[in-house]
């Protein structure tokens, strides 16, 4: 949409003037070929234009090849497949030989996140960046050889200690992380790169993406940007959060591909992604009504989903530009209660006003080994109505604690259907059944 660089990922054109690509991610165990193929097909039938699968270890590489083969032979080969790789450069190198795109997380490709403050001199810092660059070289060579694209997936919740110690846990730190890797890409003459700057905080995600967009322009770089709000949750809250962050950036003309992450069956994500892109496609935001920190948004959209998208996107946009204190919605097709309900959701999503408990929940992926959707639903039901309280429900112990680091309490998946309870960043229980974890969470919150 806004990036100047355009290229193919499989059969899909990304960047330049190409339409925004709507993508999604499986939550099956990638080693379970049958379940993963079936889920990919449901997602593609629902409108996913690119599908990502997690590859936690080398053990999933052969099943991934088989998934790709079966999708091709069943007539689904037109949709590019993306491998999601954390921690293990060897896995990235293995999947780069046959996948259309590989997502790496610069925060944990060679660096670590132990929440430690590192006091590095400039030369020590530079040496660590150089070590990372050398370790990444084979990946970029393989990608060049096979025409594979790379997504640099920067997450606010998984920035490495080196970056956080120097730049704080901030949008600026996210930009530094992206720029370090873009320099590495440029050094190796590798340009098939997409970048994402994700956070569960809508304003952080918007700020980081806009800053990176501007920083790239200053450097005469213009790589496509992938937009998403992580751990958005589910239902209307999750959709409004995503629409506020993604929609606001699209209204600024920023963004080439999007994913709406929901803690729901993954086939629910793309229909809402397409609805969002279409609902805000022709909006004019040049003369919004903002007075004394209050946005008054009058709209005549009668479709509820489209109205939700438009209201959330405009509020996100106006909050980013003006710093809002209040949002007032006007629409003749909806009741006063419906207007007030959406106003509250939009303001909570943008943190203009915190009117309810804040919930963060990852969409889950092949690393999740418990029924996160029902646990999250139970947590939301039990702990609604505590403004100022933040609770995380995360799929795995590998990334979950980092991704919900600013939550007051959390439930994080362990193995074999068990979960652990967290108080802040600290694990306060052994792995236990979700019902027992709910009871412990209840006691912790009531005691406090
Ligand atoms: Fe997957 Fe959730 Fe773990 Fe992220 S936190 S890797 S989405 S299970």
Dump the DSSP string for 329-379. EE-TTS-HHHHHHHHHHHHHHTTSS--S-EEEE----TT--S-HHHHHHHH
Query: How is residue 28 written in tokens?
Result: 């099956």
**Ligand 1 nearest-atom number relative to CA 261:** 7
Does ligand 1 lie within 6 Å of residue 367's CB atom?
Answer: yes
Does ligand 1 lie within 6 Å of residue 403's CB atom?
Answer: yes
Does ligand 1 lie within 6 Å of residue 362's CB atom?
Answer: yes
Residue to mutate, 25, 368, 397, ligand 1, most ligand atoms under 8 Å from C-beta: 368
Nearest C-alpha to atom 4 of ligand 1 is from which residue?
399
User: Cα(231) to centroid of ligand 1, in Å?
Assistant: 9
Mean pLDDT, rounded, of the chain: 94
Residue to mutate, 113, 229, 398, ligand 1, most ligand atoms under 8 Å from C-beta: 398
Query: Where does the pLDDT of residue 20 fall: very low under 50, low under 70, confident under 90, or very high at 90 and above?
Result: very high
**Is a pLDDT exceeding 60 seen at residue 167?**
yes
Nearest-CA neighbor of 225 among 242, 208, 202? 208
Does ligand 1 lie within 6 Å of residue 395's CB atom?
Answer: yes
Per-residue pLDDT averaged across 125-133, rounded? 93
Residue to mutate, 85, 263, 367, ligand 1, most ligand atoms under 8 Å from C-beta: 367
**What percent of the chain has a predicted confidence (pLDDT) above 90?**
89
In this prediction the pTM is 0.95
User: Cα(405) to centroid of ligand 1, in Å?
Assistant: 14
**3-state SS, one letter per residue, for 273-324:** HHHHHHHHCCCCCCCCEEECCEEEEECCCCCHHHHHHHHHHHHHHHHHHHCC
Rounded Cα distance between 347 and 368, Å, is: 31
Q: Is 231 left (phi over 0), alpha (psi -120 to 50) or beta?
A: left
- pLDDT number for residue 2: 66
Residues 429, 406, 238, 333, Cα dihedral to 10°: 130
Q: Which residue has the tokens 């937009």?
A: 227
Does ligand 1 lie within 6 Å of residue 363's CB atom?
Answer: yes
Phi, psi (5° rounding) for residue 233?
100, -145
Rounded Cα distance between 411 and 404, Å, is: 10
CB 79 within 8 A of CB 44: yes
Rounded Cα distance between 243 and 226, Å, is: 14
Residue to mutate, 233, 234, 238, 395, ligand 1, most ligand atoms under 8 Å from C-beta: 395
Query: How is residue 407 written in tokens?
Result: 């939550």
Per-residue pLDDT averaged across 112-117, rounded? 73
Q: Give percent helix, percent strand, percent coil of the chain, each to the nearest 5.
A: 45, 20, 35
Rounded Cα distance between 121 and 125, Å, is: 6
Does ligand 1 lie within 6 Å of residue 396's CB atom?
Answer: yes
Q: List, for residues 54-110, the tens digit of each pLDDT value.
A: 999 999 999 999 999 999 999 999 999 999 998 889 999 999 999 999 999 998 887
Beta bridge partners of 226: 196, 257
Does ligand 1 lie within 6 Å of residue 151's CB atom?
Answer: no
- Beta carbons within 10 angstroms of residue 301's beta carbon: 17
Quickly count helices (H) and strands (E) in the chain.
14, 18
**Is the C-alpha dihedral spanning 281, 287, 293, 298 positive or negative?**
negative
CB 237 within 8 A of CB 266: no
Rounded Cα distance between 311 and 318, Å, is: 10
Nearest C-alpha to atom 3 of ligand 1 is from which residue?
396
Query: How is residue 421 written in tokens?
Result: 């309870």
3-state secondary structure of 412: strand
User: Cα(212) to centroid of ligand 1, in Å?
Assistant: 24
Rounded Cα distance between 337 and 348, Å, is: 16
- pLDDT number for residue 431: 95
Q: Which residue has the tokens 């098939």?
A: 192
Per-residue pLDDT averaged across 217-238, rounded? 94
Burial 70-92 (b: 16+ CB within 10 A, else e): bbeeeebeebbbbbbbbbbbebb
């Amino acid at each position: 949409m806004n990036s100047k660089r355009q290229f193919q990922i499989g059969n899909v054109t990304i960047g330049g003037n190409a339409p925004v690509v709507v993508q999604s991610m499986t939550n099956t165990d990638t080693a379970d070929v049958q379940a993963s193929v079936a889920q990919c097909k449901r997602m593609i039938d629902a409108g996913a234009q690119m599908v990502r699968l997690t590859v936690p270890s080398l053990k999933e590489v052969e099943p991934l090849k088989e998934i790709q083969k079966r999708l091709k032979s069943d007539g689904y080969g037109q949709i590019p497949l993306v491998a999601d790789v954390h921690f293990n450069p060897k896995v990235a190198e293995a999947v780069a030989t046959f996948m259309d795109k590989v997502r790496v997380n610069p925060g944990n490709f060679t660096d670590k996140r132990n929440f430690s403050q590192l006091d590095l001199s400039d030369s020590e810092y530079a040496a660590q960046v150089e070590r990372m660059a050398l370790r990444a070289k084979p990946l970029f060579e393989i990608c060049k050889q096979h025409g594979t694209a790379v997504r640099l997936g920067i997450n606010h919740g998984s920035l490495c200690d080196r970056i956080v110690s120097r730049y704080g846990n901030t949008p600026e730190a996210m930009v530094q992380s992206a720029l370090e890797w873009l320099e590495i890409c440029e050094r190796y003459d590798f340009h098939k790169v997409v970048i994402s700057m994700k956070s569960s905080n809508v304003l952080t995600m918007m700020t980081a993406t806009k800053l990176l967009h501007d920083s790239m322009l200053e450097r005469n770089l213009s790589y496509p940007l992938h937009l998403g709000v992580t751990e958005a949750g589910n239902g209307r809250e999750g959709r409004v959060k995503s629409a506020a962050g993604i929609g606001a950036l699209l209204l600024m003309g920023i963004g080439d591909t999007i994913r709406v992450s929901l803690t729901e069956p993954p086939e629910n994500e793309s229909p809402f992604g397409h609805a969002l892109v279409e609902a805000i496609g022709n909006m004019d935001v040049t003369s919004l009504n903002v007075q004394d920190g209050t946005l008054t948004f009058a709209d005549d959209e009668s479709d509820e989903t489209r109205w939700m998208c438009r209201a959330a996107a405009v509020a996100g946009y106006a909050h980013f530009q003006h710093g809002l204190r209040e949002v007032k919605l006007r629409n003749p097709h909806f009741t006063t209660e419906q207007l007030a309900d959406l106003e509250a959701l939009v303001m909570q999503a943008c943190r203009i006003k915190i009117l309810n408990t804040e919930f963060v929940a990852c969409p889950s992926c092949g690393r999740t080994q418990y029924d996160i959707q029902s646990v999250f639903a139970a947590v939301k039901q039990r702990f609604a109505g505590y403004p100022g309280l933040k609770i995380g429900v995360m799929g795995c112990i590998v990334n979950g604690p980092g991704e919900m680091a600013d939550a007051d309490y959390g439930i994080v998946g362990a193995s074999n259907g068990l979960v652990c309870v967290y108080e802040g960043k600290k694990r306060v229980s052994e792995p236990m059944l979700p019902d027992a974890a709910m009871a412990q969470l209840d006691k912790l919150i009531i005691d406090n």
